[in-house]
Amino acid sequence: MERASFFSPQAGRHIDMPRASRARFGIGDVVRHRQHDFRGVVFDVDPVFSNSEEWYESIPQDRRPAREQPYYHLFAENEEQSYIAYVSQQNLVADADGGPIDHPHLDEVFEQFDGERYRLRAAFSQ
């Protein structure tokens, strides 16, 4: 399999990845976690895991997702709070509710919710 590499500022190193990594979700999509009760809006996608080793190792081994899949940065919310989440593709599904997300940083990056997804502000789409 042909491979490529990119520098991840978050991980602080170059990440080796397959050239054929396919993301199921795009920027602005509203998603829900399969196991935990939160939903969010995708604001960035890593083609493979590119966070720190410490973060990865903090996940219990029996629940640790594979590295070679897309990982999503989300403006996330649950019943109690809003936060930033980093989630593997295998742990996300499209949000069937389809309603807007109430996160304090959404307006910085996205236009209003159009009923299906959020559209990037013009300054971010260039």
| pLDDT of 15 higher than 60 | no
pLDDT at 38: 96
- Please answer whether residues 14 and 7 qualify as being in contact, where contact means their C-beta atoms are separated by less than 8 angstroms: yes
In this prediction, residue 74 carries a pLDDT of 98
> What is the tens place of the pLDDT at every residue in 89-105?
999 999 988 789 999 99
pLDDT tens-digit series, residues 37-62: 999 999 999 998 999 999 999 999 99
What's the chain's average pLDDT? 86
Position of tokens 């009760």? Answer: 37
Q: Which pTM does this prediction carry?
A: 0.81
Q: How far is CA 26 from CA 14, 31, 77, 93, 106, in A?
A: 23, 10, 18, 12, 15
Closest CA relative to residue 96, chosen from 58, 39, 19: 39
Give the amino acid at 7.
F
pLDDT higher for 28 or 122?
28
What pLDDT is recorded for position 123? 75
Residue 66 half-sphere exposure, CB side, CA atoms within 13 Å?
A: 8
**Does 68 have pLDDT greater than 80?**
yes
* pLDDT at residue 116, rounded to an integer: 87
User: Is the domain defined by 26-51+66-124 classed in CATH 3.40.50.720?
Assistant: no
